[in-house]
A and B are shown apart, each in its own frame.
Chain A
Amino acid sequence: LAKTTQPISMDSYEGQEVNITCSHNNIATNDYITWYQQFPSQGPRFIIQGYKTKVTNEVASLFIPADRKSSTLSLPRVSLSDTAVYYCLLQGNNLFFGTGTRLTVIP
């Protein structure tokens, strides 16, 4: 089973750009890289997904190098409401979550 590795926690000041990197050395050819956000006592919510290169939507960007062994979620100008746990998944035939990165945004 493919595994992902993320930092356990990160702190950032309000208004800064935050980059969370995920390592996935054993990514399979048919895996897509997906990021989810979870607030306490709620189900995770989809943020962004990509296969290679760069993907951008209204809330985040996802950078994936050519070898696909890592990926970086970029959150521009974070606010206090972005304090949450962020999960990186390799979404193929299943959805296996890792431990996630707990992001705390400081005023």
Chain B
Amino acid sequence: DGGITQSPKYLFRKEGQNVTLSCEQNLNHDAMYWYRQDPGQGLRLIYYSQIVNDFQKGDIAEGYSVSREKKESFPLTVTSAQKNPTAFYLCASTIRGMNTEAFFGQGTRLTVV
């Protein structure tokens, strides 16, 4: 079945450590996105990529980094520069275009301990 997969579902990180969240899709979608969601809040865009080897900053890119070496994969690294990384992280993908449904992964809950 086609879909978008995030792993792991739960992740714990010590302060000062970098951590990478995985996002893989087999939908042949061009565009991929990373969002952060804090409790009771909406989704805030971190980074997005419309095509392989290209990505753009969203509203809250500071302290995060991404890569897009393959169409299927868009990993997000939460660096030690991110001051408050504890949050729910969501990855999404769409066919590149204006009127297409976005598919979301089930999310990764990151907790800094």
Residues of A participating in the B interface, judged by any CB pair closer than 8 Å? 30-32, 34, 36, 41-46, 49, 51, 85, 87, 91-100
The A-B contact count (CB < 8 A) is: 60
Are the C-beta atoms of B107 and A42 separated by less than 8 Å? Answer: yes
Interface of chain B, helix or strand or loop or mixed? strand
Residue from A45, A51, A91, A94 within 8 A of B104 (CB atoms): A45
Are the C-beta atoms of A95 and B45 separated by less than 8 Å? Answer: yes
Interface of chain A, helix or strand or loop or mixed? loop
Are the C-beta atoms of B42 and A95 separated by less than 8 Å? Answer: no
Report chain A residues within 8 Å CB of B94: 95
Question: Shortest Cβ distance from B10 into chain A, in angstroms?
Answer: 11
Among residues 93 to 113 in chain B, which have CB atoms less than 8 Å away from a CB atom of chain A? 94, 98-107, 109
Report chain B residues within 8 Å CB of A46: 101-103
